[in-house]
Chain A
Amino acid sequence: MDKRREFESIVREYSEQLYWQIRRIVLSHDDANDVLQNTFLKAWNGFDNFHGESKVSTWLSRIAINESLDFLRRNKHQGSATSDDLSVANSLLADEYFDGNETEAMLQQAVSQLPDVQRTVFQLRYFEEMKYSDISQLLDTSEGALKASYHIAVKKITEFFKSRD
């Protein structure tokens, strides 16, 4: 099959799944769309070097998550740093592509205050119910360390809510 057509069928199959992985990390639709385009651009440029060492979905998710975390790091100055800052929740509630309630926005606020790995593990485990073994391949981190990160993330988010009850 022609290389470009082969890649197009990969885009068709995985773009929606990747979009949601990215969107849960970067939160806004426009940012998620930009990061997704970059993800496929990187995948296309590395397509000749991909020889099926891992599953296509794993290969693409690794690129997508790295691109999402790079995006967050580049825009860190815009993110919230203090626990009293509710800018993420407020901007989500004003976003036309977010139809969650206040509690759901507050969950995203709490998640946005976590360090990168805890934040990514929480999103993949809590919302996508991904296995630790699969997350381990995506993040190059041991399953034990990921379980610990998830446990800490849950604890911090719980404390975030309880302190506001």
Chain B
Amino acid sequence: MYIQEKVGKRNPFRVPEGYFDNLTAQVMQNLPEQPKRRAKSVFMRPIFYAAASVCALLVAGAVWMWQANDAVSSDSIQAQTAVQPQQQDASSEYMDEAVDYMMLDNHEIYAYLAEN
């Protein structure tokens, strides 16, 4: 091999005298008493996904209600009186169902956050 013939494999690097004798002590001196545990990222916690799901649900519900109201306001008053109660019923029914499905209230969410 050309490189081996030209240069060889000798280690040309040196270290200060006694460097390896003190190395273990030097390394240990620079370490904290206990390993520093890495804080778990918020994205790794189940509560993050639970909270994100609740937020997404609320936003989706709000958008749906806003769109429903918007559609109604562009219709005639007659149509509005006929349709709106039905939509309001549907919205509140939807929210009731969502809350029942999650079976969560604020106290439970706070308690869960406190545990974690």
Contacts and interface: CB of A to CB of B under 8 A. Distances in A.
Contact of B24 (A12, A105, A106, A126): A12
A27 to B, nearest CB: 8
B10 interface: yes
Interface string A32-46: 000011001100111
Interface string B10-34: 1111111001100110111011110
A47 B23 contact: no
Contacts of B101: none
Interface of B: 1-3, 6-16, 19-20, 23-24, 26-28, 30-33, 35-38
B23 A127 contact: no
Contact of B2 (A24, A41, A161): A161
Given A8-B24, A19-B20, A19-B23, 19 more contacts: A4-B28, A4-B33, A11-B24, A15-B23, A20-B11, A27-B13, A29-B15, A37-B30, A41-B30, A41-B31, A45-B35, A47-B35, A48-B35, A103-B6, A104-B12, A107-B7, A126-B9, A127-B9, A161-B3
A84 B57 CA distance: 63
A158 B38 contact: no
**Chain B binding surface SS class:** loop
Contacts of B1: 154
A15 B24 contact: yes
The size class of the interface chain A forms with chain B is 35 or more
Given A41-B30, A127-B9, A97 B16 contact: yes
B21 to A, nearest CB: 10
29 contacts: A7-B31, A8-B28, A11-B27, A15-B20, A15-B27, A16-B20, A19-B15, A23-B13, A29-B13, A29-B15, A29-B16, A37-B26, A40-B27, A40-B30, A44-B31, A44-B35, A45-B35, A45-B36, A45-B37, A97-B13, A99-B12, A101-B12, A103-B6, A104-B10, A104-B12, A107-B7, A127-B9, A158-B2, A161-B3
